[in-house]
Structure 1
């Protein structure tokens, strides 16, 4: 490879000053085409809308013909609605496209984007905080809160992902952003559930829309966007040098650290201003950056200009589609962008070039020298139990861990029943649990308290086992149904049955939706034999589309119904009793033996597919079985308790820490998940008082810090 590169470089060097001109010409051509496309889309945005105003009347108004400017309704449509909306589309689209290109250049990572990296999530948390507690108004009133949240999120993501010096792998950046987004979502859910008025505003704002943008709000945000764009200008040359590596950039006289700080400030201003004006819009920076690299080539300045124009064009096109797709109503701009951006994200992940920016950490990274050969079990602490010609190999550490977690689960069951009552004291609850209390107290504890705790433990057990299967299948401890789109698919399916006239008893829709989502992820990821990072990021893209559909469904319903469904969509066990435990017990009775079978076969895959094949285990069939069982388990849990996050991610990690990596810790994972959900639900009931905190909101607050801890441990390893 080296000699051809040297030979091809010589003529270019000998060409002297004449060689940059064709390159500049190749950049200016695409930029001119993009500029023309933006102009045409801006004109179309003025002439097309969801109402009944014909384009000819708009043209008459603009040309001042036939007395059109005397028409007050027409003046309102053009000057108050469409002109500010079009200008906002141009500004926000260019800002997010430029922000995405800046992030991708600074981190040398094609997956970097403000929505995927948690910057939008941090800005959204800031806006919700200002809206709820400080009475912040729309547009410019959201700006300082969006700035603070975006700044905190961007700095934290870059620090955790390790992008400070050498760049970070695509997987690490996406997961760090997902951790920030998860924590921000948990905090937002906790805040929004406190007041129906906040939720009524939030459910429309979170969709992302240019509708209703006023000239006053636009003028208040434009200076911030302009400053962010201006800060990008001095970063062009340092970013071009940074593309060659940090050492080369330093040799050329640049400071990579200072360059990334400058980029972080510019991206924060651009993202915060965009979120304040149009809400959280995901994938736009990703699409713009990808198109810019294809159109402008390696020239950094051309990439930034092309990204800004592409962002403006894509957002205007998405806004036009949102107006006319279900005319006279409007759909979500965020949904249109997700439907368009998710396939692009999958295309990037399937590309071999993405792997050049860094590979995901090994599944057993950072576990110590004794596990320096990840994937090879060492059952040297096992006990052999013999009965005639048959023998069973029982790992001592794993068995002790399962027994200990089982005892802990029993203690948690009793403790939640005693300390989880908001009416009875612990002493009264204990006597009621033992049957030595008035009938009313016994009824409250045994017929209302214990069933809910039992359902919580069953839901947590199902999620823990599902997470263990997916993490082992993908050979990545960070893979779970939360990130594979299974939970979102189950949530959407259950909501569709509710909207169609069903009740909360439509638990069967959860496993069905989870299976369909898993099948979609499997299809677009290229099968079960692909790398764990590809399945994971593909699931993240699918989950983004499904989540946008859920938010759109909630926004289309009346406030009371939407608020109740939003509380469930966060994850809630309110009102669960023994009847709810019936489907769980029946499903677990069928799925747990299949999970144990899949876990036994997955353990053989640690020796490699060739050895597993010799031992009679087909790798693809084993992974397929594990994914199907995990999707059914997670969907069943969602159908009964809602999409409770964090549990399927954390329970297997904790179980592995306790029981060791010699076996697939299915039993320990299920017990750990049961303990987590029971404790989270009890804490939400006690801490929330009369208005309880849903278990999913409690879990969401813990999920982000836990995922960040895992990432930091792998970074040190």
Structure 2
């Protein structure tokens, strides 16, 4: 058969092709109708289920105009306001999450990103601790005031010199949110009353809603937030094309971002004030809406509102029935519903169509030409060592700083030691009481601080270089939440505080689960990140429930550890980490050579003989092991893994991965923060994690407001 005859035969008898699926935009009306039906059914179930033994027949009688006092109380004063609040708050959080993801061009942005949740939490804690606020209405007022204050500061900072941008908005929200969170923890660890009220409010609940009084107060604010969201959709859609094209179409990108942030603030602040912080819902609703609607922003926002309303209403219904006669926290139910859905979507084959896959392109900020540093070659027979002047000088200066910090930490405290006596006591010389105080009580804690800080600094250096992002830390893989959960399990099983190995074991289990569920590390950075966020939401919600149901004294001590604390930690927990560092630091130094090449795109790295997938896997395992060991010592201390590589890189220069510098900076930061926490308040010890969090926010602001911050990130 000739070629032409073969072609004719193929044309005459073509193979049947599978029916093409309609495009996303063609399915949006049907999807909207289905979601409306589901939300309506959930609202009906919310009216019919609950305390009071009033079923569907009673609800129909009330809606038909029955004058029964019992039906009026159960349906009219309890269930109807609660259902209405769930629908409005869920829609507000869904729309706010979708707007925030669009304006930051980050599909993983969530409604706590503007510092709203942290500001609301600080407002509630301040009201409880300083003004003895105990009523739900008082919590509402203070939560709303704190949320608005936080968002206002974020907008002010992100719109300062240099103009507004998604990066500045994210950094400002993260920085102020961290600072407010640290101040909240500082108040809580010193006030049992504030913690007792806060641990119930932070779980989120609609159980306290009676009547339309509170909703009526915030309804105008919610309505204004919805209206602003509708008005900003068109310019926000233009902004997705890029700032230059948006300006060409007559829009002002800076003003659009400020207006969007205002809408998100109004919606989220009202929601948090009414039902408490339910941060995972905004992320879930916006992400699912993007998967269903594709790139059309109008459809995304509408579907996000429906999804948020349906999930919160359904979670509230389940909260009433899963643990009768009590109610489960609605935030836990939202996490249990949302995490599997989010994981299922991110594992689907449509992920690439959503723009959620990694590319092999280098960092968007590019790399500026950096002049070569002077270098010294040391030779000994067949061996040679290349030493760069600037990194070597930086390492010597950091080592001197670390020695000074050790002496100061051994000296600081409630004793009459002077610095010369302290220095002699470190080496076992001088008065017997001085040696006992320094070596047995203070040096053990100092060694624990040094090892934990070194491990965190090195773990942060590896993850930041691996992700090509200065904001990437080991916490993104669920290390902190996994370690915290493991410690709580060990406390529950043994009745005493967990051993040093419980934290690393929990961190390892969390990372293994995230990696297996995500389908491996590979090139799926976003997939691993989304699964990590989902697992963290589950673990965090479970942790809050455990703390809420323990006795006040037990919960307070566990909360102090969960904030990051070195109290009672000594040589017994430091030695395992020292052994781990003796193995892992040399391994990280070896891997660092390949990380320098991995700063370029994968094709360039492969052409230079480096296997990107293998280097990523080794670096990830090293970072997880180091971070898990550190959490096992001092709990989930924040910002050290973030700040250490940034500071070390600024000192040593950008030519090399600052492995050794990150180790030294991390050790110094933890030690100085612990010393400050021990001595700043007379008779009161501030956990080291609270100190680093309070100081970490201003550090992020320094990164944000400094010159060429975008290039550094």
State if a TM-score over 0.5 links the two structures: yes
Question: Are 2:364 and 1:337 equivalent residues in the alignment?
Answer: no
Secondary structure class of the residue paired with 2:470: coil
How much does 1:673 deviate? 0.8
Whether the 8 Å contact between 2:463 and 2:473 is mirrored in structure 1 is yes
Aligned partners of 2:238 and 2:658: how far apart in 1?
48
Query: In the alignment, what sits opposite 1:280?
Result: 277
Aligned partners of 1:448 and 1:511: how far apart in 2?
25
How much does 1:461 deviate? 1.0
How much does 1:635 deviate? 0.9
Query: In the alignment, what sits opposite 2:386?
Result: 393
Query: In the alignment, what sits opposite 2:186?
Result: 190
Question: Are 2:117 and 1:120 equivalent residues in the alignment?
Answer: yes
Whether the 8 Å contact between 2:97 and 2:286 is mirrored in structure 1 is yes
Whether the 8 Å contact between 1:61 and 1:69 is mirrored in structure 2 is no
Secondary structure class of the residue paired with 2:386: strand
Aligned partners of 1:584 and 1:298: how far apart in 2?
48
Whether the 8 Å contact between 1:38 and 1:313 is mirrored in structure 2 is yes
Question: Are 2:260 and 1:263 equivalent residues in the alignment?
Answer: yes
Query: In the alignment, what sits opposite 2:16?
Result: none
Query: In the alignment, what sits opposite 1:19?
Result: none
TM-score by length of 1: 0.83
Question: Are 2:223 and 1:226 equivalent residues in the alignment?
Answer: yes
Aligned partners of 1:26 and 1:463: how far apart in 2?
48
Of 123, 134, 148, 2:131 maps to: 134
Query: In the alignment, what sits opposite 1:558?
Result: 551
Whether the 8 Å contact between 1:286 and 1:341 is mirrored in structure 2 is no
How much does 1:358 deviate? 12
Whether the 8 Å contact between 2:449 and 2:670 is mirrored in structure 1 is yes
Deviations 1:17-75 (A, max 9, x none): xxxxxx999866654443332221112113334x6x6564x63476379xx99897x87
Query: In the alignment, what sits opposite 1:433?
Result: 425
Whether the 8 Å contact between 1:235 and 1:263 is mirrored in structure 2 is yes
Of 472, 476, 481, 1:483 maps to: 476
Question: Are 2:477 and 1:522 equivalent residues in the alignment?
Answer: no
Whether the 8 Å contact between 1:522 and 1:528 is mirrored in structure 2 is yes
Question: Are 2:566 and 1:573 equivalent residues in the alignment?
Answer: yes
Question: Are 2:417 and 1:417 equivalent residues in the alignment?
Answer: no
> How do 1:315-394 residues align onto structure 2 when only pairs under 5 Å count?
315-342=312-339, 351-352=351-352, 369-370=369-370, 381-394=374-387
**Range 700-709 or range 627-636, more displaced:** 700-709
Aligned partners of 1:303 and 1:292: how far apart in 2?
5
Structure 2 residue runs of 5 or longer lacking an equivalent are: 1-23
Secondary structure class of the residue paired with 1:392: strand
Query: In the alignment, what sits opposite 1:59?
Result: 57
Query: In the alignment, what sits opposite 1:701?
Result: 694
Query: In the alignment, what sits opposite 2:486?
Result: 493
How much does 1:137 deviate? 4.7
Secondary structure class of the residue paired with 1:393: strand
Structure 1 residue runs of 5 or longer lacking an equivalent are: 1-22, 372-377
Of 706, 710, 713, 1:715 maps to: 710
How much does 1:112 deviate? 4.2
Whether the 8 Å contact between 2:128 and 2:197 is mirrored in structure 1 is no
How much does 1:565 deviate? 0.2
Aligned partners of 2:330 and 2:689: how far apart in 1?
27
How much does 1:249 deviate? 5.7
Secondary structure class of the residue paired with 2:621: helix
Question: Are 2:90 and 1:93 equivalent residues in the alignment?
Answer: yes
Aligned partners of 2:241 and 2:295: how far apart in 1?
11
Secondary structure class of the residue paired with 2:494: coil
Deviations 1:688-712 (A, max 9, x none): 3212100000011122232343345
Query: In the alignment, what sits opposite 1:619?
Result: 612
Whether the 8 Å contact between 2:48 and 2:59 is mirrored in structure 1 is no
Distance 1:524 1:253, change over 3 A: same
How much does 1:386 deviate? 1.9
Secondary structure class of the residue paired with 1:113: coil
How much does 1:368 deviate? 5.4
Distance 1:612 1:658, change over 3 A: same
Query: In the alignment, what sits opposite 2:21?
Result: none
Aligned partners of 1:516 and 1:570: how far apart in 2?
21
Aligned partners of 1:391 and 1:257: how far apart in 2?
54
How much does 1:176 deviate? 5.2
Distance 1:325 1:629, change over 3 A: farther
CA RMSD after TM alignment: 4.0
> How do 1:5-20 residues align onto structure 2 when only pairs under 5 Å count?
none
Whether the 8 Å contact between 2:357 and 2:525 is mirrored in structure 1 is no
Aligned partners of 1:538 and 1:167: how far apart in 2?
30
